[in-house]
Each structure stands twice: as structure tokens, then as C-alpha cells.
Amino acid sequence: IELYQLLSSNAKCINQLPGPKDYFIIGNLKDILVPTDVLFKNFRRFAKEYFPLYRIWSSHLYGGICVIGPDDMQTILSNVKHNDKGPVYLVLQEWLGEGLLRSTGEKWLMRRKILTPTFHFKILKQFIAIFNKHSKHFAEDINTDGEINIIPHIHKCSLHMIAEAAMGTCLRDSEGESRYGKAIHDMGSFIMYKLMRPWLYVYFMKFFTKNYLPEKRALAYLKTFTKNIIDEREKDKVPVNVENDEDIYLNKKHHLAMLDLLLQAKDDQKISYDGIREEVDTFMFEGHDTISMAMTFCCMLLACNKHVQDQIYEEIMSVLGESKECDYEDLQNLNYMEMAIKESLRIYPSVPLISRIAGEDINTSTGFIIPKGTVLLLHIYDTHHNPDLYPDPERYDPERFSVENSKNRHPYAYLPFSAGSRNCIGQKYAMLSMKSMLVSLLRKFELHPIDTPETIKLFVDIVLRTKEGIKIKLKRRDKMM
């Protein structure tokens, strides 16, 4: 009932905004309940037609305002009053509970304070060895010299990285490797199924879906897996102080994992056992699929833009040479590679859409006042593809992110990691791990195009994906001599 009130209270006001034609009771469901690749295209069409703001009705029960323009993005994301997440995040509740991604108010603030040190540069520095280890395996495991769908390889690598960084667990060749990977993948599909069907946000409706039992089983497996790891790690626990380098670097028994810092926070009575589970699961969820798809799209773009790939390869050779293991400073020095990754995240932002609830009335750039309580859908994808902000927006051009060219850009025109106090806590981790993967891959292979931006079919999901994987052609550099 509360949800109904929240969603419908601003109906009259929302209707003053332009938007696609809606119908009695079903609202815009005709445009929304369509195959997800068609939905993707519909959103792009609406963005072009109604920039910078439009309203959408997912049935007349559930309406919201779609935001595209950078001025309105700034007004919303820079104000902590609009920090609460929209109802779509309810689909994550059973798995991620009140973890950082979903929590609100005081609880979010407290969790954010506890978790920020887990991404301290000193901790990130010691993750580089983990990134390098799995990146090396990633390049070694690809033995083919020819056409591959790169997604499963990248996916496996980023899952192994986050499992070791977050939980201190090496999944590679372990019993849990395929089962855990599959359970995470299945949960993604179940969540997406619910996301498209707003009536399933109502708690009891879940009993009536075909996914009820498989989801229950996958959830039980994931929760038990995390619980066992937390219990094991707790047995071996060593006190940690992030400010003390000795604690971070001289921990002989095992690499420090994010979990160790959470266990320390539990000893300091800052977080409960269940809280730790929620956060570890949140990192596992947020910290691998986002990176996998970002890396995949980046590889496709590099395959299609050989001159950019060659420039990155030259940079790797000049900073690292043929075989030096990269350290934190080396990765920081791969500036052109960073520009190429940034541009790839502009064209293909892993999280194309986020949602908030207006915490107070919002005075928008058009003069329209969004009333408090309205659901806001922030279409990061469309901001990134707006030709006024990025001329010729489909063209891949890393130079857009040179210091010079970034200088005069609107501060809210580039939002792959969102912005403001609720931005992505893992963005530095993401950038470092992607750089490490690219170093290993490009040292061994030249990438050539098979799939291109024109051939792939994007679709709406929590993370931006393609319908049929992404194929590229690999040529081993050592065989090219």
C-alpha cells in the first residue's frame, strides 16, 4: 500500500511532462513489455524525442520521470536529499538485503563510512598482485588463435578477481567455481525477469512466478557459500588497522581481503554478522558483471579501432616492456589506456540506468518542478550519447578524455560510475583491474573485429549486455613475427 501511495501520489503532476503515448490502466506497458532489445531501442528513441526530461508509465500504478540532461543529473546526484533508491532496487532485496547499494538514510551513511577504507589506495595497491595473477591466467587460458566469444573468459577472470579481493577465496579450479559462477549468473536473470514485471515487486506475488523455486535454490546456495567463507575467514582472523602499513603488507598468512576489514569492523561493533554477508554479496554482485561487460565492450572497440589498440600496445611496451609484472604506479602511468577505457565506458556504460526518489521538490532545467516522492530514472546511457555533449557520439575517440578535451565538459556529462556522495565506491578498483586484464591480453594477442557496434544487439538489463555474446578474432603476437 505504501508503495502504491508513493508511486501514484504524483501522477497528475507527472502527466504534465511530455512522454510516449500512454493508455488507460496499462500506461506505457505497450512500449515497455516488449523484448528487451526492443525496449532498449525504445528508450533511445524517447531520449531523442523528449530530451532532457520525460514521463513514463509502467502501468498507471508505477510512473516515473526519465532524466537525461546533465544539469538535471547534477541537481539530483549532488543533493543528498535525493539519495534514496527507486523501487526497482526492491528486486535485489532478498539477495543483497540492506547492503550499501540498497540501504538508505543513516544506515547507508554508516555503511559507507565503514566500507570506504576497504578501497583505500593502500589496500588497492596490494590487490594488484591478485589482478595480475588472474589476468595472467585469463590470457594463458585463451589458447585459441582465431575467433572467440570473449565474454565467458573475461567474466571468469573478473569473478575470480573479486572473489579473492573481497573474500580472500581463490575460486579457480575449486569445487565452487562453476556452481558459484552459475548461481550468480542465474540470480542476474531472475532479477531481470522481476525488474520487467513491476507487479512482482509486491512481496507475495513472488510465489506465483516460474522462477520462484530456482531462485530460492540459487539464493540459498549463494548465502551458504558466503556464510561458509565468512566463518572460515573469521577463524583465521588477524587484527587490521588500515592506517598501519605493516598490517596491510606484512600479513604473512594471507592477502588482506575486504572481508578482513569487515570482520574488524564487526569486532569494533560497527557492523553485524548479517551486515557483513550483505556487503560481501553486494561486492560480488557489483564487482564483476560491471567490469566484465566494460572489458568486453572495450575489447570489441579496440578490435574495431586498430590505431587505438596499437597506441595502447606501444604504451604498454614503453611503461612495462614485454614481461614486467605491473605494479600500482605502472598502472597509473598507462594514461592512454585509461582514456580508451573511459571512452569505451562512455559509449557502453555498464550501468546504463540508475534510479532515485526525489527527496524534495526539484526545480529542473526546463522550469518544471518534480514533486517530492517522484521516482526518477536517470538514463546515463542517453546522457553519454547526446550529440550536444559528445559530437558524433557513436564514434570511438579516446582523445575526448585527454586533459585538454575534458577541461570544459559539464561535470555531470560523464557518469559511468554515477556521481555525488552515492557514486560507485569501487571505481578505482574497476579501473585498475581492467588495466591489468588489458595488459595481459594485449601483450599476447592482437585483436581483430568480428562483431562490431553495428552488428551487436544491446538489451535492457541491470548491466548493459548483448544478445549473442561478442566475438572477436585473436592473433598471437609471437606467431606474427
| Secondary structure string (H, E, C) spanning 394-440 | CCCCHHHHCHHHHCCCCCCCCCCCCCHHHCCCCHHHHHHHHHHHHHH
Residue 10 is a binding residue for ligand HEM (CB under 6 A) = no
C-alpha dihedral (104, 105, 106, 111), degrees to nearest 10: 30
Of 41, 44, 112, 197, which one interacts with ligand HEM (CB under 6 A)? 112
Residue 147 to residue 472: CA distance in whole angstroms? 6
Residue number, 60 or 422, with CB nearest to ligand HEM: 422
Residue 409 is a binding residue for ligand HEM (CB under 6 A) = no
Of 59, 309, 350, 374, which one interacts with ligand HEM (CB under 6 A)? 350
What is the closest distance, in whole angstroms, from the C-beta atom of residue 435 to ligand HEM in the complex?
Answer: 12
Give buried/exposed letters for 378-400 (b at 16+ CB in 10 A, else e).
bbbbbbbbbeebbeeeeebbbeb
What is the closest distance, in whole angstroms, from the C-beta atom of residue 85 to ligand HEM in the complex?
Answer: 6
What is the closest distance, in whole angstroms, from the C-beta atom of residue 433 to ligand HEM in the complex?
Answer: 7
Based on its alpha-carbon atoms, the radius of gyration of the chain, rounded to whole angstroms, reads: 22
Of 354, 377, 456, 462, which one interacts with ligand HEM (CB under 6 A)? 354
Residue 351 is a binding residue for ligand HEM (CB under 6 A) = yes
What is the closest distance, in whole angstroms, from the C-beta atom of residue 466 to ligand HEM in the complex?
Answer: 16
Task: Look up residue 15 and give its three cell numbers.
Answer: 502527466
Residues 16-55 that bind ligand HEM (CB under 6 A): none
Nearest Cα neighbor of 131 from 162, 153, 154 is 162
SS3 27: strand
What is the closest distance, in whole angstroms, from the C-beta atom of residue 430 to ligand HEM in the complex?
Answer: 4
What is the closest distance, in whole angstroms, from the C-beta atom of residue 353 to ligand HEM in the complex?
Answer: 9
Residue number, 132 or 450, with CB nearest to ligand HEM: 132
Residue with cell 562490431: 452
What is the amino acid identity at position 146?
A: G
Of 53, 157, 261, 294, which one interacts with ligand HEM (CB under 6 A)? 294
Nearest Cα neighbor of 353 from 386, 383, 380, 382 is 380
Of 426, 440, 442, 460, which one interacts with ligand HEM (CB under 6 A)? 426
Residue 416 is a binding residue for ligand HEM (CB under 6 A) = yes
Residue 353 to residue 53: CA distance in whole angstroms? 14
Residue with cell 605491473: 326
Residue 278 to residue 281: CA distance in whole angstroms? 5
Cis preceding-peptide flag for 52 (omega within 30 of 0): yes
User: Do the beta carbons of residue 383 and residue 73 sit within 8 Å?
Assistant: yes
Residue 57 is a binding residue for ligand HEM (CB under 6 A) = no
| Count of other CB atoms within 10 angstroms of residue 90 | 18
Residues 225-284 that bind ligand HEM (CB under 6 A): 282-283
Residues 118-177 that bind ligand HEM (CB under 6 A): 162
What is the closest distance, in whole angstroms, from the C-beta atom of residue 108 to ligand HEM in the complex?
Answer: 6
Residue 101 is a binding residue for ligand HEM (CB under 6 A) = yes
Choices 42-50, 134-142, 331-339, 346-354 (CB under 6 A): range interacting with ligand HEM? 346-354
Residue number, 112 or 448, with CB nearest to ligand HEM: 112
What is the closest distance, in whole angstroms, from the C-beta atom of residue 24 to ligand HEM in the complex?
Answer: 32
Residue 464 is a binding residue for ligand HEM (CB under 6 A) = no
Residues that bind ligand HEM (rule: CB under 6 A) add up to a total of: 24
Residue 167 to residue 280: CA distance in whole angstroms? 7
| CA atoms within 13 Å, Cβ hemisphere of 368 | 15
Of 226, 374, 418, 440, which one interacts with ligand HEM (CB under 6 A)? 418
Residue with cell 546504463: 352
Task: Look up residue 344 and give its three cell numbers.
Answer: 569505451
Of 291, 377, 413, 437, which one interacts with ligand HEM (CB under 6 A)? 291
Give residues in contact with ligand HEM (CB under 6 A). 85, 100-101, 112, 162, 282-283, 286-287, 290-291, 294, 350-351, 354, 416-418, 422, 424-426, 429-430
